[in-house]
Structure 1
Amino acid sequence: MNIRVLDSQEQLDDIAAEYLIGAVERRPDAVLGLATGSTPIGIYEKMVEKHRSRHISFREATTFNLDEYVGLAPDHEQSYASYMNKHLFQHIDLPATHAHLPNGMAASLEEECKHYERMLAEQPVDIQLLGLGHNGHIGFNEPGDTLSGDTHAVVLQERTRDANARFFDSKDDVPTHAITMGVGSILKAKTIILAVRGADKADIVREALFGPISTECPASLLQTHGDVIVLLDREAGRKLSL
């Protein structure tokens, strides 16, 4: 792993954005794996800035998002489809048909998961952006005795729903299920960027990067990947001895 502890959130955002947009600059038809949550917002802002200032086109690129809530329509203000439109897609020239998220409204979640996995197999991800949950989840792959390798539907743990409740009117409004890429799907990306900020993530950062590889900390499986770039702010990296 290439682990970098950075002095500011702006620096983290800029470096992560450079990796992602740089992939498109080098190869216009690059496939980007994207994430949601609070951490990527600044990264996407920097990507939009670079897209405009350097005239980098996304017309030939493709994106795949990690996950989507079950039961939220794409136009729901808290769906990840809406999030991506707000923070990135409406500001760049990526064709709508090139932007992929799981369909949380699918009549058959099982068939939707199989369909998403087939698309990932046809267009492998070049560079995947990840955040890190307080319990070690990546995507919505929650800790447990076992993990699913492929895209699948998952029951969200209470701590995950608690963490996401700030985006909703109340915790009762937070969906209980989601569709997520599996850990196996994530690990197929050629390069992975793990971006983490905040003192409240310091313990799980240390466990994920240097603890035992275990399904009880899904992010620990990133230790098995050959090209992981870890970008931390000072607070998230404060318990590491580098």
Structure 2
Amino acid sequence: MADSYSFVKGGKLKLKGHKDKKHKKHKKRKHDEIDTDTPKPEKGDSEKHGGWWLAKKFDDISGNTAIEMDDMRYLAAQDNGRFKLGPPRDEGEEPDPIEILTAVKVNETKIAIKSGYGKYLSIDPDDGVIGRSEAIGAREQWEPVFQEGRMALNGSNNCFLSYDDDGDIVCNSKKAGESEMLKIRLNANIETDPFANIPVEERGKIKDAEINYVKKFQSYQDRKLKISAEDVSSLKKAKKGGVLHECMLDRREKMKADRYCK
């Protein structure tokens, strides 16, 4: 008897005189068409490191600094003045506070590095790295060496910063091999105004700069600007020589219309 049910067509119960409604075809919505298997765009280098960007030249190195010794692993300060290689960080995670250092430029090629405990990094007699110095001396100076897009940090003993099998930070290799390659990362804002050090009046052509200063200082007795008819080549030379203001003052003095001229 049970086998008889296998021949019965299943489905919705149909009543006599009942007409089937036509089903409208639903258009696919936009979000239905999105392929969920499509990989998301890869994050940029600084995003992977929590916004900490990579120093590519000596002038970049200043202020808050993290030294990436291995992939997503940073040099970390210990409360005993020693340093170890910190644990791996997840993608998008910032360095831990004990991994944040302060870089100070000593001269045009060397820096000093201060730990979060307020002590400068130096090298002990066993070529280990310690942070117990209160001031910057010869042992506290480090030289970032850039070559072919990579970087190593040379210490006062002419060896390069690295770490040993136990994760202790050392400086004992005369040659910069693969294990001596590292990255210095910073979190300072790199979006600086290129005209920040230039007065507003001088942010155009040299002739416009003279007009701007005339507008600023000239007394308008007859409501007309009096601009020097002399060639601007002298102004260009003065700008290169760092005496632009003096040159413009001399030109305005000849016009006899400036209340600030001598």
Higher strand share: 2
The verdict on a shared fold, with TM-score over 0.5 as the criterion, is no
Higher helix share: 1
Q: Which has the larger radius of gyration?
A: 2
Select the structure with the greater relative contact order (CA < 8 A; seq sep ≥ 6): 1
Q: Which band: TM-score by shorter chain?
A: under 0.3
